[in-house]
Amino acid sequence: MTIEIPKRTYKGAIRTITLGAGDKAVTVGGETSLPFYLFEGERPNPPRIAMEIWDMEPEDWPEHALEPFKDVVHDPALWAKKCVEDYGAEMICIQMISTDPNDKDVPADQAADTVLKVLDAINGVPLIVWGTASHEKDTEVLKLICEKTHGKNLAIGPVEEGDHKAIGGSIIAYQHTCISSSPIDINLAKQMNILLGNLGVSDEKILIDPTTGGLGYGIEYSYSVMERLMLAALTQEDERLQFPMINNMAKEVWKSKEAKLTPEEDPLMGDPKRRAITIECVTAMLLLLAGSDLLIMRHPESIKIVKDIINDFMAAN
């Protein structure tokens, strides 16, 4: 008996998007089948991982998350440099936590200075800048960052319906890439991309942020919206959804209590470091299976494991 495996043909493909400029630029996307369905399509660019740094010293990270960066968390530029030089980061994502108007509310010019210093320290490695999703403040901060980093092709986000005109305008003017953000809904994701297209953001400059839920905190919603998005892009040729997806997952993983609990707080939860790394890796795995092209991750050990898994998926059969 010879079984014929039912293969699917896809009419659509995900666009390829290049982040950064120069010889360390990174290209994502380009897949022509469902995630890792390499038996019926191509994946010219494997999914990538950006290492997360914060623009200020974190106050609520558990010891096991802080440990690899202990010597550098006081200085975002040193932190970024360590990620690149010691941990081989191919991309950095800086979270602009300090600009949160409900918290430290650091002004835009100071925030832009930090980003410039980080850019200087990472020597051409592509940079993602992630705001606080406060429309007014992000407009100020991200616009200024766009302006000060003209031509560096940073990925800037989250760009949401409420602030897309202002931030999108600067992204176009200063030649960056736009992270199109919508709250776990395929129609809203599409709507955002239509709006960005209308504004004049080029189709070569869009990444989709479908909004990421952590493991145990709504990951199933992200998972299914991402699967539906991939299917719409590939099989229904929905052009406004044919962009690579980015998942800002580190924040979601590491803010959960299960990533932090110590054995004293809950002896039934085992070793906190091993547990948190496993949670981060499992979260990454599910997002990759759902269609992620770009993961933002925190712990160097998690990143190493997930890279290894990606290699196994991409390996010749």
Partner 1 sequence: MGLTGIQIFKMLPKTNCKECGQPTCLAFAMALAAGKAELAKCPYVSDEAKAVLAEASAPPIRPVQIGNEERGFKIGGETCMFRHEKTFVNKPGFAIYVSDAMADEEIDKKIENFMKYRYERVGVLLKADMFAVKCESGDAGKFKALVSKINEKTDATFTLMSDSKDVLAAGAEVLGDNKPLLYAANKDNWSDMAELAKSAGCPLAVKAETLDELAELTQEIQKAGVKDMVLDTSSRTLRRAFEDQIYIRRLALQKKFRPLGFSTIAFPNEMTDDPFKEAVIASMFVAKYAGIIVLSEAEAHNLFPLTVARLNIYTDPQRPMMMEEGIYEINDPDENSPVLITTNFSLTYFVAGGEIEASKVPSWLLIMDTEGLSVLTAWAAGKFVGDAMGIFIKKSGIADKIKHRKIIIPGYVAVVSGDLEEELGPEWEVMIGPREAAHLPAYLKLWKAD
**Where do contacts with partner 1 occur on this chain (CB under 8 A)?**
1-3, 5-6, 36-39, 60, 102-103, 213, 215-221, 223-224, 227-228, 231, 255-258, 260, 268-271, 274-275, 277-279, 281-282, 284-286, 289, 301, 305-306, 308-309, 312-315, 317
C-beta closer to partner 1: residue 90 or 252: 252
C-beta closer to partner 1: residue 126 or 131: 131
C-beta closer to partner 1: residue 108 or 215: 215
> Buried b vs exposed e over 105-134: b needs ≥16 C-beta within 10 Å?
ebebeebbebbebbbebbeebbbbbbbbeb
C-beta closer to partner 1: residue 201 or 277: 277
Give 274's contacts (C-beta < 8 A, 6+ positions apart).
none
Rg (C-alpha) for the chain, rounded Å, is 19
Q: Minimum Å distance from CB 75 to partner 1? A: 25
Calpha distance 279→294 (Å, rounded): 18
C-beta closer to partner 1: residue 193 or 302: 302
Burial of 268 (0-12, 13-18, 19+ CB in 10 A): exposed
Q: How many CB atoms lie within 10 A of CB 154?
A: 26
Q: Minimum Å distance from CB 96 to partner 1? A: 15
Q: Minimum Å distance from CB 275 to partner 1? A: 4
Q: Minimum Å distance from CB 189 to partner 1? A: 14
For residues 171 and 129, the answer to whether their CB atoms sit within 8 Å is no
Q: Minimum Å distance from CB 259 to partner 1? A: 10
For residues 164 and 201, the answer to whether their CB atoms sit within 8 Å is no
Q: Minimum Å distance from CB 8 to partner 1? A: 8
C-beta closer to partner 1: residue 172 or 305: 305
Calpha distance 277→204 (Å, rounded): 34
Q: Minimum Å distance from CB 278 to partner 1? A: 5
Give 264's contacts (C-beta < 8 A, 6+ positions apart).
none
C-beta closer to partner 1: residue 94 or 226: 226
Q: Minimum Å distance from CB 102 to partner 1? A: 5
For residues 28 and 238, the answer to whether their CB atoms sit within 8 Å is no
Q: What is the largest CA-CA distance in the chain?
A: 70
C-beta closer to partner 1: residue 6 or 151: 6
